[in-house]
Structure 1
């Protein structure tokens, strides 16, 4: 197979399944051959990203992801995406392990947000404790010129419960809990836009999009960028990866 891309996933698997489902659903197609060529690495045994970020004595997720990147590089994909926001804690180290472009999902998400909601003032961020601690989204949001709100401990507890208790452990979506979190960030903390800084939250958005709040879904955005780039490489177009973030 030539002119394909690689998806590094499995963190968690339901979130990766959501990415693949949206990728195929949004790809314009009338026959099998219209879909994109890609390789999925569903590396579900990668150590917990948040646990390591909060306590570096816990197993690191960098070695297994570096191994994945190097293995896939031997197959020469055109680009790679990592379907885990928290894993971007080691983005620089992972990109340094390969010459293949590795698309930065948080950077892509905030670039899109800046263009889509230029008049927004306060941005809410809901994510794992690991993503909050690594500041990957916080820095992107502030560098784009927006105010940031992380809510409070009660919101964080609800977010963690939705991500871990409902989606990761039970494998189920809790729409009322998700909608309540969005409502609280909007009503109590005056957030114009809410960034979903975890792919499990992207899964929640896919399953329960029926709410009135403005959200930025990094995974949904990287799906659209994957389709755009995938179609370009199929058509033989040369891509300047330094300019893809807009």
Structure 2
């Protein structure tokens, strides 16, 4: 297979399924051959990212991701992507394993925010406890000169319930809960734009999009970037040249 990329997924599986579905449905096609070539690594055994970030005595998820990246690197994909925000905690270590370009989901999403909403100085952030605890998105947002609003103490329990109790444990999206989170961030904390800092939240957006709030969905953004890059590469552009503009 020529001109393909590798998806390091399985964190969690339903969120990865959502990403792949989005990837396939956003490609403009007239025939089977118009779809993109990719290899999906759905490594469902990757240890919980939040558990390790908050407590280093827990299993280190980098070990599993390291094995996945090294295996895929032997196949020489055009680039890597990883549709899990929290797993970007070890992005820098993963990049060191290979010369294959590796998209950074979080940085791409943050730059999309400042491009689409240049007048907004603040963005609301909802994410896993791990991402919040280690300031993964917060650091990226502050790097581009914007402020982060996390909301009050009532926000994180609702977000955790939606991600873990609903989606990860039961495989369902509580649309009312998702909308309540967005409404609270907007009405109570003045967030005109809310960033969905977890792919389970991207799944919630896919399944329950009927709301009036502005969201930045990194999963959609990553899918669109992957499509753009792979079509350019398929047309003859060098992979490293194509991806350069997204290596912030």
Q: Say yes or no: TM over 0.5.
A: yes
Instruction: Please give the TM-score of this superposition, normalised by the length of structure 1.
Output: 0.98
Any residues of structure 2 matched to 1:35-114 within 5 Å, and which?
35-114=35-114
For the 8 Å contact 1:182–1:213, the answer to whether it is kept is: yes
For the 8 Å contact 2:103–2:247, the answer to whether it is kept is: no
Q: Which residue of 1 aligns with 2:150?
A: 150
Q: CA deviation at 1:230?
A: 1.2
Q: Which residue of 2 aligns with 1:244?
A: 246
Q: Which residue of 1 aligns with 2:194?
A: 194
1:135 corresponds to 2:125: no
Once residues 166 and 217 of structure 1 are traced to their aligned partners in structure 2, the CA distance between those partners, rounded to angstroms, is 19
RMSD, matched Cα: 1.0
Once residues 33 and 124 of structure 2 are traced to their aligned partners in structure 1, the CA distance between those partners, rounded to angstroms, is 40
Secondary structure of the equivalent of 1:188?
helix
Q: Aligned residues, how many?
A: 246
* Residues 101-146 of structure 1, C-alpha deviations (whole Å, 9 max, x = no match): 1100000000111100000122110000101112121011111111
For the 8 Å contact 1:111–1:245, the answer to whether it is kept is: no
Once residues 80 and 164 of structure 1 are traced to their aligned partners in structure 2, the CA distance between those partners, rounded to angstroms, is 26
Q: Which runs of 5+ in 2 are unaligned?
A: none
Q: CA deviation at 1:189?
A: 0.6
**Structure 1 residues 101 and 89: alpha-carbon distance in aligned structure 2, compared to 1, 3 A threshold:** same
Q: Which residue of 1 aligns with 2:231?
A: 231
Q: Which residue of 1 aligns with 2:8?
A: 8
Q: Which runs of 5+ in 1 are unaligned?
A: none
For the 8 Å contact 2:10–2:16, the answer to whether it is kept is: yes
Once residues 74 and 121 of structure 1 are traced to their aligned partners in structure 2, the CA distance between those partners, rounded to angstroms, is 43
Q: Which residue of 1 aligns with 2:27?
A: 27
Q: Is 144-153 or 3-12 further displaced after alignment?
A: 144-153
Instruction: Please give the TM-score of this superposition, normalised by the length of structure 2.
Output: 0.97
For the 8 Å contact 1:121–1:192, the answer to whether it is kept is: no
Q: Runs (4+) of structure 1 moved beyond 4 Å?
A: none
Q: CA deviation at 1:245?
A: 5.4
